[in-house]
Amino acid sequence: MHKAAAQLAASQWRAAFDPGALTRGERYAAQDRVSQLSIESNLITAVCRGSAGQHYSQRIQLGSSGMSVMGRCNCPVGYNCKHCVAVIVQVLQQADGDKSEYRATTSSSEQ
């Protein structure tokens, strides 16, 4: 597991996002809208396809301990948006190797 993925898995990253962004971002990840995913140290970059087919670029910076998440996107929201959630979910899914297991875990923890 990449260091950034391990930091995310151990952190409370979801607290940095509003509930609507979490729901929509998880849906985007399930629809495989994330591409060009790259992880270097504590920086994650990617591109996420929006609802009208446009492509938005994300730069997600993790704090040194992984406890803070600062997601920038060139969409109208701009900060910690659904596109950033989709990227984080994709990183965690790739680290786990099983998308359905991740979705089941997050769904049950949300209830």
Q: In sequence order, which residues have a C-beta less than 8 Å from that of residue 73 and are 6 or more positions away?
A: 48, 56, 57, 58, 59, 79, 81, 83, 84
Task: Tell me the three state secondary structure of residue 25.
Answer: helix
H or E element at residue 46: strand 43-49
Predicted pLDDT at 66 = 54
Task: Tell me the three state secondary structure of residue 109.
Answer: helix
Low-confidence ranges of the chain (pLDDT < 70): 1, 10, 65-67, 98-111
Six token digits for residue 59: 């730069």
> Would the pTM of this model clear 0.75, i.e. be above it?
yes
Kindly report, residue by residue over 1-21, the tens digit of the pLDDT. Answer: 577 778 787 678 899 999 999
